[in-house]
Amino acid sequence: MRNYTLLNEFILLGIPHTQGLETLLFVVFLFIYFFTLLGNSLIFTAIVSSSTLHTPMYFFLGLLSIFDMLFPSVTCPKMLLYLSGQSSSISYKGCAAQLFFYHLLGSTEGCLYSVMACDRYVAICHPLRYMLIMKPGVCVSLVTIACSVGFLHATILTSFTFHLVYCASNQVDYFFCDLPAVLPLACSDSRLAQKVGSINVGILALMFVFSISFSYAHIGIAILRIRSAEGREKAFSTCSAHLTAILCAYGPVIIIYLQRTPNPLLNALMQILNNIVSPMLNALIYSLRNKEVKRSLRRVFHTLVEMFRN
């Protein structure tokens, strides 16, 4: 038996090649994080407070707003702490929790995008049966399945990663605990964990891409069959915001995986876009491109103004 001195904490080295820019990055990320929380909380409030938005489409949008507040909260607060000069260390359990919730929320949100694509498919391709198909029980079941998939995915990755022995270097060459940054630090053989992680992430990505592509291929055909230009424009406008959000979420990830030679700085920038910037953009996309949400937001603002006046 070999004697190991097990690690009880890791040191996050931060974003590669950004030494000396800590103050600037702190201000930028603090603004983005604050705007993300504010924008998504306003959208959620607008949906809850308006009875006209109590439909399956806005039920999913409200859940997406919640996930867009939780997802960046996994990595951003700790990053803001060490950018402000605080300790960059994270406990062993904290690192495991960060990895777990990062993959739980990320994969669940990916499932939710697929569910929203399915919702748009039913709304446009089967409009007369939309409310019959997308009943409240069906919507809740779809969300439950999405959360279950995310929980299973995160549990598998976290179990395989932290079942390994970590006893040597504790310096994580990244700004949060993720598989590619943590596994190289293991003292025991990590090949199985790397293989399981790649297969798991690959299968989920293929499922998301296939389901979204299937839904929007049928949606595109249905829109082209609409004779009136007004009808086509209305149908397209209901999907454009969702498609834009999907591109903002998956675009950075696609860039990471299409690189021939990994670039640490580019990977970190793409992860920042995916983890922090994309949730903020979702709030802008759905508030600026959706007339119903904009009307509800105006009512919320008027209510808040009246409250402060009184």
Taking the C-alpha atoms of residue 254 and residue 256, their distance in angstroms, rounded to an integer, is 5
CB 200, CB 157: distance < 8 Å: yes
Q: To the nearest 10°, the Cα dihedral for 144, 148, 149, 152?
A: 180
CB 102 within 8 A of CB 77: no
Query: Which helix (DSSP H) or strand (DSSP E) does residue 91 occupy?
Result: strand 89-91
Q: Could you report the per-residue pLDDT of 157-210, keeping only the tens digit for each? A: 999 999 888 887 888 888 899 888 898 888 888 889 888 888 888 888 888 888
Which pTM does this prediction carry?
Answer: 0.88
CA dist., res. 137 & res. 291, Å (int): 27
Say if residues 235 and 127 touch (Cβ distance below 8 Å). Answer: no
Residue type, 106: G
Give the integer Cα–Cα distance in Å for 75 and 120: 31
Query: Does residue 281 carry a pLDDT above 90?
Result: no
Under 8 Å CB-to-CB from 240, ≥6 apart: which residues?
289
Closest among 53, 152, 76, 158 to 111, alpha carbons compared: 152
List, in order, residues 6 or more apart from 36 with CB less than 8 Å away. Answer: 68, 69, 72, 276, 279, 280, 283
pLDDT digits (tens, 9 = 90+) for 108-163: 998 999 999 899 889 888 888 998 999 999 999 999 999 999 999 999 999 999 98
